[in-house]
Amino acid sequence: MQEIVGLFPTPFMRVPSALGPNLVSGLVAHFSAAANTANNSSANLVHTTMLKPGDSPLLVQAATLITPLLSEFGALLFGERMGWSLKEMWVNVLDNGGRQAMHNHANSFISGVVYLTPTHPEARTVFMKSPGGTDFSFKNDHAGVVTGPYNADKWISMQPEPGDVVFFPSYLLHAVPPNPGARRITMAFNAIPATLDSWGYKIAFGG
């Protein structure tokens, strides 16, 4: 009898309506105008500067709702519920035709996205399998191939709604395809744990 075991899966957590509509509309109104830092990959994508929760009462409210969820997701990564802090937050404004190039987030362990406006189905966040090293590789990729979780190169996330939050390991590559719809506003964040303890060898991370 055959048995398939998914070894070492990568967790991805979605929390629908984690932020309420009043907070979402407040974040959009306050930070969309503050997003004036250009992005190298697209002329139709701008960001705010890196923000701390203390920079705005709205961010304090958002952090209060997000931080307990970090502990839940962190337990999947490290096997223990522990203290987490939001290292940085920033708002992305993606206009029609804009895109976000493939990237991951350095110097953090959990990253996430808060969706603040409706997202066109073709502009959903796409997550990619790491391309690996520079060695030669072989693939079986043609019209007759059935794509599944063990041979796919990318995964298109589910359709988000305003107020939804997703969490993923910071090393996970992701991108946003060209946006054919209306302005798409999201708030991204990075988080770090207070400490990691490996049998007495402890590392503390600054907030």
CA-closest candidate to residue 89, choices 193, 189, 18 = 189
d(CA 38, CA 45): 7
Asked whether residue 2 is assigned to any structural domain, the reply reads no
Evaluate whether 18 touches 69 at the Cβ level (below 8 Å): yes
Q: Find the distance separating the first CA and the last CA of the chain, reported in whole Å.
A: 51
DSSP class per residue in 108-121: -SEEEEEE-S---G
Evaluate whether 175 touches 181 at the Cβ level (below 8 Å): no
Angle between helices 57-78 and 21-31 (to 10 degrees): 110
Q: What is the pTM of this model?
A: 0.95
What pLDDT was estimated at residue 136?
Answer: 75
What pLDDT was estimated at residue 133?
Answer: 66
Domains: count for the chain? 1
> Which residues are 155's β-sheet partners?
127
Asked whether residue 1 is assigned to any structural domain, the reply reads no
CA-closest candidate to residue 192, choices 70, 89, 99, 91 = 70
Evaluate whether 88 touches 50 at the Cβ level (below 8 Å): yes
Asked whether residue 188 is assigned to any structural domain, the reply reads yes
What pLDDT was estimated at residue 48?
Answer: 97
d(CA 163, CA 2): 42
Asked whether residue 82 is assigned to any structural domain, the reply reads yes
Range of the domain at 42: 13-134+145-194
pLDDT in tens, the chain (207 residues): 999 999 999 999 999 999 999 999 999 999 999 999 999 889 999 999 999 999 999 999 999 999 999 999 999 999 999 999 999 999 999 999 999 999 999 999 999 999 999 999 999 999 999 877 666 778 898 999 999 999 999 999 999 999 999 999 999 999 999 999 999 999 999 999 999 999 999 999 975
Asked whether residue 90 is assigned to any structural domain, the reply reads yes
Asked whether residue 200 is assigned to any structural domain, the reply reads no
Asked whether residue 106 is assigned to any structural domain, the reply reads yes
d(CA 3, CA 9): 16
d(CA 111, CA 39): 19
**Widest CA span in the chain:** 60
Evaluate whether 91 touches 27 at the Cβ level (below 8 Å): yes
d(CA 176, CA 41): 11
The CATH number that applies at residue 31 is: 2.60.120.620
**107 class by beta-carbon count within 10 Å (0-12 exposed, 13-18 middle, 19+ buried):** exposed
Asked whether residue 95 is assigned to any structural domain, the reply reads yes
